[in-house]
Amino acid sequence: MHDIAIIGAGPAGLMAALGAARSGLRAALVEKRRDVSRITRACCQQLVMDEGYAGDTVSAGPGGISFQKAVFTVPYSGPLFAVTRKYYVSPGGHRICFDHGDGRPLAVQFDKGRLLKGLWNECAAAGVDLMPGMTAWNASDDGKAVEIQLTCSGRRSSISARKALLADGVNSRMAEALGMNRGRTHFVTTQCMVYTLEGVEDPEPQAMKSFMGGVYNSRAPIILYPHFGDPTRARMCVPRNKTEPARQVYEFARDKGALAPYMQQARIVKAAGCGLRAYSAMRQPGLGNALAIGDAAAFVEVETQGALMCGFHAAQAVLRELETRSGFEGYTRWWQRSFEFNGPDALRVAQGYALTPTYTDGELDYLFGLVEGETLPGSYSQYNTPKYMWNAILAHAERIAHERPRLLEKIGANMKLTINDTL
């Protein structure tokens, strides 16, 4: 029997396995992929540099990715690229700018495949029992241990462990099997594609841009990301709408609105997709001998840096849980205070502050035009930037009241809505 079994070799699972093994625990790491360096799913490959983001402040350099508060460093020797500016762009091309003003990055791009492979090799060196190509399809907890059912190439097997960490991502199969999703609220099911593009004509390739509006035939922003400083390449995140897949949304949006000038010579060279069912976060991510970590317990995703932190703290939690039975409680307190989606304002930010499809294209052009030319605080956070944006817009409330009184009433009503009111 293992001391700990970790399901999923993403950043959370790898970090947890490494920490557990280095603490002297017998750790098994189950991963359905045979090569963790191959990234086939659309996912985050950038670090958010906001101070205190997800409960810690991160930095990246030749020595690796370092966390200030928890005081640990993740080995990484791959490429890094600083994203120094962020824009929200209205259908007519009015832009809201987020920038520190001194060249500091808002985000740093990295090669996730190289990061994961490096951690996998570190786990091997630390003595983790690595189990690639294994799919965990069921689990049970008898109060003394967790038994995990596995399959590989049609052959079934099982492993047992005193504790289990569930790091198998959004919509975790293991969390469902162990009854940990009971009481979570389902908000929306969505899909998106991330396309790598060549031939993009972008005058500011160092900036991330979110294109808003119904003109793109999408219910969410279409986001254009830099591609490691290559001015001829970019990555584009395209959500599907209710009736059309993401590729059709892309083809429609390519020729519309403020996005069109970037796309005249663009062509897709790579595509990766993802689909998910968004649930409310687990307030209590531990149950019995199992602890759900990273995306498995989250509202949508915790991103790579959040996952690394979850793995780091989870390894410590398991060690304390085995010794004193209080480790999962300590992890829960850290989890609840570190991630903004666990706070009372998170759902209002996620939906009540939303621009698309809440406001018409004409309304977006008007509102963005009020603050175009201003520079808002440098932030990449999906929680902070909407607040900064609306603070800047509402600084013109008297003008809006005079010119568009019904629009001001609409803004006020939307600010009070919860996500349940708007779906």
Angstrom distances, CA of residue 238 to CA of 109, 195, 251, 266, 373: 19, 8, 10, 15, 27
Confidence of residue 334 (pLDDT cuts 50, 70, 90): very high
> Is residue 88 one of the residues assigned to a domain?
no
| Shared-domain flag, residues 162 and 16 | yes
Rounded CA Rg of the chain: 22
- What's the pLDDT at 44? 75
| Shared-domain flag, residues 41 and 125 | yes
| Shared-domain flag, residues 267 and 332 | no
Which of 327, 342, 357 is the last residue in one of the domains?
342
**What is the per-residue pLDDT across 234-270, written as a single tens digit (0 to 9) for each?**
999 998 877 888 888 898 888 889 999 999 999 999 9
> Is residue 104 one of the residues assigned to a domain?
no
Could you tell me the CATH number of the domain that includes residue 233? Answer: 3.30.9.10
Q: How far apart are CA 261 and CA 110, in angstroms?
A: 27
DSSP 229-292: T-TTEEEEEEE--SSS-HHHHHHHHTTSGGGGGG-TT-EEEEEEEEEEEEEPPPSS-EETTEEE
In this model, does residue 422 exceed pLDDT 50?
no
Confidence of residue 377 (pLDDT cuts 50, 70, 90): very high
Higher-pLDDT residue of 410, 277: 410
Please, what is the average pLDDT of the chain? Answer: 91
Tell which residue, 190, 240, 203, has the closest CA to residue 87.
Answer: 203
Average pLDDT of the residues in 36-56:
89
Which of 323, 342, 361 is the last residue in one of the domains?
342
**What is the per-residue pLDDT across 266-313, written as a single tens digit (0 to 9) for each?**
999 999 888 777 788 999 999 999 999 999 999 878 999 999 999 999
> Is residue 336 one of the residues assigned to a domain?
yes
What residue numbers bound the domain in which 257 lies? 186-278
Residue 90 amino acid letter? S
Confidence of residue 419 (pLDDT cuts 50, 70, 90): very low
**What is the per-residue pLDDT across 194-234, written as a single tens digit (0 to 9) for each?**
999 999 998 888 899 999 998 988 878 899 999 887 888 89
| Shared-domain flag, residues 352 and 412 | yes
Range from 96-100, 167-171, 278-282 that averages highest in pLDDT = 96-100
Backbone angles phi, psi at 101, to 5 degrees: 90, -5
Positive/negative CA dihedral, 307, 388, 369, 410: positive
**What is the per-residue pLDDT across 106-121, written as a single tens digit (0 to 9) for each?**
999 999 999 999 999 9
- What's the pLDDT at 190? 77
| Shared-domain flag, residues 407 and 322 | no
> Is residue 74 one of the residues assigned to a domain?
no
Task: Evaluate whether 96 touches 87 at the Cβ level (below 8 Å).
Answer: yes
Average pLDDT of the residues in 338-345:
82
> Is residue 231 one of the residues assigned to a domain?
yes
Higher-pLDDT residue of 406, 382: 406
- What's the pLDDT at 347? 61
| Shared-domain flag, residues 22 and 164 | yes
Angle 350-81-91 from CA coordinates, rounded to 5°: 45
- Only one residue has tokens 């809006």, namely 400
| Shared-domain flag, residues 234 and 247 | yes
Average pLDDT of the residues in 382-406:
93
Collapsing DSSP states into helix, strand and coil, what is residue 191?
strand
Strands 286-287 and 95-98: what pairing?
A: unpaired
Tell which residue, 38, 28, 43, 41, has the closest CA to residue 134.
Answer: 28
Task: Evaluate whether 342 touches 352 at the Cβ level (below 8 Å).
Answer: no
Q: How many domains does the chain have?
A: 3
| Shared-domain flag, residues 329 and 355 | no
Which of 255, 278, 301 is the last residue in one of the domains?
278
> Is residue 381 one of the residues assigned to a domain?
yes
- What's the pLDDT at 349? 57
In this model, does residue 63 exceed pLDDT 90?
no
Collapsing DSSP states into helix, strand and coil, what is residue 323?
helix
Range from 36-50, 307-321, 353-367, 370-384 that averages highest in pLDDT = 307-321
| Shared-domain flag, residues 336 and 384 | no
| Shared-domain flag, residues 167 and 288 | yes
Task: Evaluate whether 254 touches 263 at the Cβ level (below 8 Å).
Answer: yes
Confidence of residue 418 (pLDDT cuts 50, 70, 90): very low
| Shared-domain flag, residues 165 and 298 | yes
**What is the per-residue pLDDT across 13-41, written as a single tens digit (0 to 9) for each?**
999 999 999 999 999 999 999 999 998 87
| Shared-domain flag, residues 322 and 367 | no
